[in-house]
Structure 1
Amino acid sequence: MYLRKFLAHEAGVISCWFSTYNEFLLWGGRVFSWPIEHAEIIKRSKQQEIEFFTLTDGNEVLGFIELQHMSRTEIRLCRVAVSPSHRGNGLGKTLISLSLAEIKRRNQYQVVTLAVFTKNVTAHKCYCSIGFSAVDKEPKFKEFGGERWPLVQMELSLIKSG
């Protein structure tokens, strides 16, 4: 398995991974409309401050991640997803680990940040197992249809101590 830059034709595959509106919101928030249009994913992939990567075994797209350049020293992990047919096999951890290796290889960023909805227990556990820690930052919730979804802001320092 390896991480590589997203290819536009993969948008159709990724858009099919979310079968319900709530599942889609856990992944994409308000960034995309529901149901997801392939063109929306492709359009976002072309934004200057954003990079899309896929986890692949060479034949199939197994995972997807967005890296958002927040500043010279901060990069943010967004829209992390694993193909429904491959969930529960540790591929989320593999996807995050390979993404962190890519970020570290650039030798530019000091911190990696992300936000996860508290109801996304599996993702939260995954991030904690890799070394992300909760931080006291806003926003602490997003509102969808009048319902507040609590968020945990997390970060991982890339600065070597000692």
Structure 2
Amino acid sequence: MFEKKNTIAKILIIIGVAIMGIGFVFGLIVGTSREGLLWSVAFSTWFSSFVYGMIIIGLSGVIELLDTKLTVTNSLLEQIKIPDKEFNLSDVHKNERPIQKGEKQAEQPKKPENLWLLYDEDRERIKDLFSKDGKIVEKIIKTPVEDLCFVKLSSESFQ
């Protein structure tokens, strides 16, 4: 149904659907009386469980988007070298002390693989798109997210 990579997002989707399903059954149980089904009670229970379930599912979507953004940002920072330093966004929040002489450096995490291909015709389309506005494409960087590229434009394009 949903193709999520993040475990937390998957769990939140399941919780959201469960809230809606349990709310529907609970609405039937609570709304049932001797005279029949009390529609106002059943509908209010169904509506509130639907809203709460959708809020949880929406939260899972936000988490998935943030996870994708982090992956893309890390990939971009690994591919673009900033003079004298290379930054990795995941290292920003770590409080690691500098490595002392004689200490072994911890293993670096593996770089994410770009599993999709950027064909030459796609590169030409990107260059044509920017050339229409008079911009010069200096570099095209593909990301781990399929069909998402970063385009580095020449500084001459903005003069």
Answer whether TM exceeds 0.5 for this pair: no
Query: More helix by proportion, 1 or 2?
Result: 2
Structure that is richer in strand per residue = 1
- Name which one, 1 or 2, has greater alpha-carbon Rg: 2
TM-score (norm 2): 0.24
- TM (norm. structure 1) is 0.24
